[in-house]
Amino acid sequence: MTERPETEKALIDSLNLKASEIADSKFKLIDRVILDFAPEIAYIYQIREDKSEEQQIKTGRLHENRILGIFLKFYLEGKKKITTGDVEEEYRLYFREIARSTTSTYLNMLKNESILSTEKDGRKAYYFLHEDPPLGIKPFWFTRIFCIVPVYFNRAMTFSHLYINPEKAIQDYVNQYGGKDKKILVKNFKFIIGLILLNIFKNRSSKCILCQFSKREIYEKLEEIISIAIKDRTDVLPEDLVNNVINKYSEIPTLNETDNDIMEEITTHMSRYADIYKRDIEFQVMLSVRRQDLRLKQKRALEGDMLSVLIEEKIERGV
């Protein structure tokens, strides 16, 4: 049996793939959706590996990068002024928890560097970005300033809610444009959302590769695995659907050079494409299911062969 490539082995070892990890996850809704749509990446999609944190080098810049990523997440939600408590709560959600005093220290450092500004309302102090984040900046430079983990995971959470509860969006579409089979529309709508989610995590991995603090080989392998999952589910879809819906909505607005992201318009657009390309999506789903079934059979066959080898070895040893 051939050995796994070192990067893949490192990825698997670092993840310690166990079902219990999903049970303890902070992103249970996303976990639920990914497990339903693409179970092959359910245990790895949310990996966060930073060599600076592991080696305890450049941790100051790492914390600043992450805190600014939290500010970006709130900024894109329309909440420009946030408190130390807001930052602390979000930091705990996405990263290893740090002390409140540490959070305050880095917020004040960013303020002294004129990256953040403050405003007081009574006894409460609010922090906000001194300048609005740039639009259309290249991802390499973007990741030098902002950690992108919070904003991508937050985007994934938004689409996960739609995946779990698609009926309202489809009903609104049917009421406005008509539609014969809501069940098919719901199924296709969820398939599009699933692909958007996979692309969100692929995009997130590609940005983490560029990050100065990351374990790049881990994220490169993660991107490769997610890319295979995407290809398995998109290879016969129309380019129009892939480019103008799936790829478009899986990128964060800042890197799409837009400063407006209205979910109502997005859901209508996705519903429209779920209707227009319903036959193409149905064929893609059928093809994807067949592939997954075939790979499962191959995996079981391989595991069966390995079991046979072990049994033969035991027989030879007289065990």
**267: exposed, middle or buried (C-beta count within 10 Å: 0-12, 13-18, 19+)?**
buried
This prediction has a pTM of: 0.84
Residue 240's domain spans which residues?
Answer: 6-46+145-284
Is 224 within a domain? yes
CATH of the domain at 90: 1.10.10.10
Is 226 within a domain? yes
User: What pLDDT band is residue 199 in, cutting at 50, 70 and 90?
Assistant: very high
Q: Which of 97, 129, 161 is the last residue of a domain?
A: 129
In the predicted model, is pLDDT for residue 113 greater than 50? yes
Q: Which of 129, 163, 188 is the last residue of a domain?
A: 129
- Name which of 42-51, 127-136, 232-241 the model is least confident about: 42-51
64-84 pLDDT per residue, tens: 999 999 999 999 888 999 999
In the predicted model, is pLDDT for residue 241 greater than 70? yes
Same domain for 226 and 187? yes
Same domain for 61 and 27? no
Same domain for 168 and 107? no
Q: Which of 129, 164, 197 is the last residue of a domain?
A: 129
Same domain for 161 and 272? yes
Is 236 within a domain? yes
Same domain for 28 and 161? yes
Is 138 within a domain? no
Same domain for 280 and 207? yes
pLDDT at 261: 63
pLDDT at 22: 43
The listed range with the strongest mean pLDDT (76-80, 91-95, 160-164) is 160-164
Same domain for 154 and 273? yes
Is 291 within a domain? no
Domain count of the fold of the chain:
2
Same domain for 226 and 191? yes
Cβ atoms of 133 and 72 within 8 Å: the answer is yes
pLDDT at 219: 92
pLDDT at 21: 45
Same domain for 205 and 102? no
Is 308 within a domain? no
Provide the mean pLDDT of the chain.
85
Same domain for 98 and 202? no
Same domain for 209 and 83? no
pLDDT at 17: 44
268-313 pLDDT per residue, tens: 999 999 999 999 999 999 999 888 888 777 777 776 655 555 555 5
Same domain for 26 and 169? yes
